[in-house]
Structure formats: structure tokens, C-alpha cells
Homo-oligomer: A and B are copies of this chain.
Amino acid sequence: MKFCSECGGSIELRIPKGDDRDRYICDDCDHIHYINPRVIVGCLPVYEDKVLLCKRAIEPRYGFWTLPAGFMENGETTEEGAARETWEEARARVSNMHLYRVFDVPYISQVYMFYRCALDEGLFGVGPESLETALYTEQDVPWEEIAFPVVRETLKAYFDDRRRDNYPVVVDAIRYRKPPQKN
């Protein structure tokens, strides 16, 4: 942030009175610009013994597999956002949604929220942000080509929990680790 989005004035990074951390503050109109973490909402769509994955057609992690997910938008609920992303990326409708995994990723100021849900009628397609989409059984998941740690952990937890037929909601934090490189 270099300019005030309210008045166009110049911005200074300093601690406002009564606060305890640096904020972007306008030199002209004194507006304080707060920057907060963003929420990524996604689905774990299940059909029979398979889960729906999307091969990314966009960076980051082009060509790697992921669960349908994306930035939550203003004016929607987390559940609505997760369903919207699933339609956008995999042309799939979902139902019976249950919050399943929350991941804090503080080093990039993101919170991921994944909903476990049913893939309606087992139908899906390919949205513009995906190269392809597919249903995978546990042994067929391309484990070495999963795009993000939060997706790998959600998938592993799901297959474990399914063996126990018990799906507790778990909050976890992802601390920094270097992503694997694709060969």
C-alpha cells in the first residue's frame, strides 16, 4: 500500500495511538487502512468411495491436483463460497455440507475452511481454472502431485476418518515449509 484509497494521499506505516502494531495510515486524511487475513473456502466432494479433485490450470501450482477452493467473497457464507468454488472449478453441485478441516496458515495470513460434502449424482465437469477433474479412490489419488499441504492433509484425514466412520472437526496450523518441486 503506497497511497490512501480514500483520498489519494501518501501513506505512512506507523502504530496508531492506542494500537500496538504498524498500520498503513494516511498522512492527509488520517484514515487507518487495516489489512486482515483472507479466508479460503473449499469442498471435499465425495461420491461412493471416491473424492473429486481438480488439476490446476492456473498458478500457483499449475498442473498439480487440488480440492475445489478459493477466496471467500463478500456477501456470502463460508458454505455458499465453498459450493460456488466447486461449481466454478469442477462444474459440480454439492449437498449435505459439514465443516471438516480448518487450517491456519499464518505466514501468508490465510485461513482455509474445507467442507466435507456429497457430490450430487456423481456429476462433474471442468471449469476454466482446471485442466481436468476426476474422482479418485484412496489408492489412486496422485499423492505426489497434490498442490498444497492443506489439501494433502485434508485428504489423508478423510480417508483415515472414513475407516472409523467418525469425522471430527479439526483445526490445524500449517507452518512454513518449502513446497515440493514437480519433476
Picked from B74, B80, B173, the residue with its CB within 8 Å of the CB of A109 is: B74
The A interface is mostly helix, strand or loop, or mixed, namely loop
Q: When chains A and B are docked, how far (Å) is the Cα of A8 from the Cα of B4?
A: 7
Instruction: Compute how far the CA of A79 lies from the CA of B173 in the bound complex, rounded to whole angstroms.
Output: 9
Copies of this polypeptide in the complex: 2
A37 contacts B39, CB within 8 Å?
A: yes
Cα separation A3 to B169 with both chains bound (whole Å):
42
Provide the residues of chain B in CB contact with A4, threshold 8 Å.
3, 5
Of A28-36, A131-139, A141-149, A151-159, the one touching chain B? A28-36
Q: How large is the interface on A (under 10, 10 to 19, 20 to 34, 35 or more residues)?
A: 35 or more
| A–B Cβ pairs within 8 angstroms, 16 of them | A1-B5, A2-B6, A2-B7, A2-B8, A3-B4, A3-B5, A3-B6, A3-B8, A5-B11, A5-B33, A75-B106, A75-B109, A77-B173, A78-B111, A79-B171, A80-B106
